[in-house]
Amino acid sequence: MLDDIVLFVHIVQQGGLSQAGEYLSLPAATVTRRLQRLESRLGQKLLHRSARQFTLTQQGEVYYQSYASLVEQFEQTSHHLNQQKEQLSGKLKVLAPLNICHGFLKSMWLSFTKEYPDIQLELVLSNQLEDIIKSQADLALRIGPQAESLLQQKKLGQADSILVATPIYLTNAPVLTEPSDLKQHRLIGTTLRNKWPLTHITSRASYTHMCRFSSIYNDTGFVKYQVADHQGVGLLPRFEIINELATGEFVRALPNWQSHNREIFAIWPSGRLLSKKAVCLRDYIHNFIQQQLPGS
């Protein structure tokens, strides 16, 4: 009914049904039908119409005076919001995992806020899957594809999971040349998995190691901390340890073997058009991941 009220106001302001149709890009028959529908709902005649002109009925005059200013205010607000959507400025609320943002994506966030200072970034970090709709966030980052049908999603990149340890640990630990040697080692794991599926990068041979962990966490960040303390071998996504690999703090254990890829997705509510600034951030993250992990 709101759309029909807006149409009625434009009929009066444009001076006729056909003029309102041209202004709103609506067929004349649609304008007539919707005006008749509004009058039927109200149970009152709003216009006296002839072939070339119209006059407002008494009820139509009251109705126009009551709603004209509200329609104008509504359209001005809508225009302002649409302009904001097309600008790289204003508030942008993003949900994202804690560990990857403090590690792999840290430099990306810093460069994004420096490059787009007019975007007011509100970054909410948590390893819990906060509801993007209830939180009214514009965008969220998730590890792995989302099954929720109310969400749109775009894959931003991926990285393999690899076995890592420190050089000091490997120097003082039993030999580790084959996956079966893992049973001789201190393994540090997460509550997400109690077995490590491994694939040889050239032969594609597979091996699954049933783990007996010396320590287990519900947070991969603590796996990384304990590995860094020379206490064992961990299986971690490459994007969470890219800096440690670059500095040599971590080295690959069983470098010819890798585990499943971990994928990074951007998600947003279905049916919602992303603002220009949200699209900008989504593409910025995608480009960053491609530069850091070519081929992802």
pLDDT at 83: 56
pLDDT at 77: 65
pLDDT at 250: 97
pLDDT at 201: 92
Residue 43: pLDDT over 60: yes
When pLDDT is cut at 50, 70 and 90, the band that residue 3 belongs to is: confident
Question: Do 2-85 and 159-262 fold alike per CATH?
Answer: no
pLDDT at 171: 96
CATH dotted code for 90-156+266-292: 3.40.190.10
When pLDDT is cut at 50, 70 and 90, the band that residue 257 belongs to is: very high
Task: State the pTM of this model.
Answer: 0.62
Who has greater pLDDT, 35 or 206?
Answer: 206
Residue 52: pLDDT over 70: no
pLDDT in tens, 68-84: 888 777 777 665 655 55
Who has greater pLDDT, 84 or 236?
Answer: 236
pLDDT in tens, 106-160: 999 999 999 999 999 999 998 777 888 888 899 999 988 777 667 888 999 988 8
pLDDT at 235: 96
pLDDT at 149: 62
When pLDDT is cut at 50, 70 and 90, the band that residue 32 belongs to is: confident
Class of domain 2-85: mainly alpha
When pLDDT is cut at 50, 70 and 90, the band that residue 51 belongs to is: low
The full set of domain ranges for the chain reads: 2-85, 90-156+266-292, 159-262
When the pLDDT of each residue in the chain is averaged and rounded to a whole number, the result is 87
Average pLDDT rounded to a whole number, residues 174-184? 95
Average pLDDT rounded to a whole number, residues 15-29? 85
Average pLDDT rounded to a whole number, residues 188-198? 91
Residue 67: pLDDT over 60: yes
When pLDDT is cut at 50, 70 and 90, the band that residue 213 belongs to is: very high
Residue 14: pLDDT over 90: no
DSSP symbols for the chain: -HHHHHHHHHHHHHTSHHHHHHHHT--HHHHHHHHHHHHHHHTS--EEE-SS-EEE-HHHHHHHHHHHHHHHHHHHHHHHHHHHHTSS-EEEEEEE-HHHHHTTTHHHHHHHHHH-TTEEEEEEE-SS---TTTTT-SEEEEES----TTEEEEEEEEEEEEEEE-HHHHHHSPP-SSGGGGGGS-EEEETT-SEEEEEETTT--EEEEE---SEEES-HHHHHHHHHTT--EEEEEGGGSHHHHHHTSSEESSTTEEEEEEEEEEEEETT-PPPHHHHHHHHHHHHHHHHHSTT-
CATH dotted code for 159-262: 3.40.190.290
pLDDT at 57: 87
Residue 273: pLDDT over 80: no
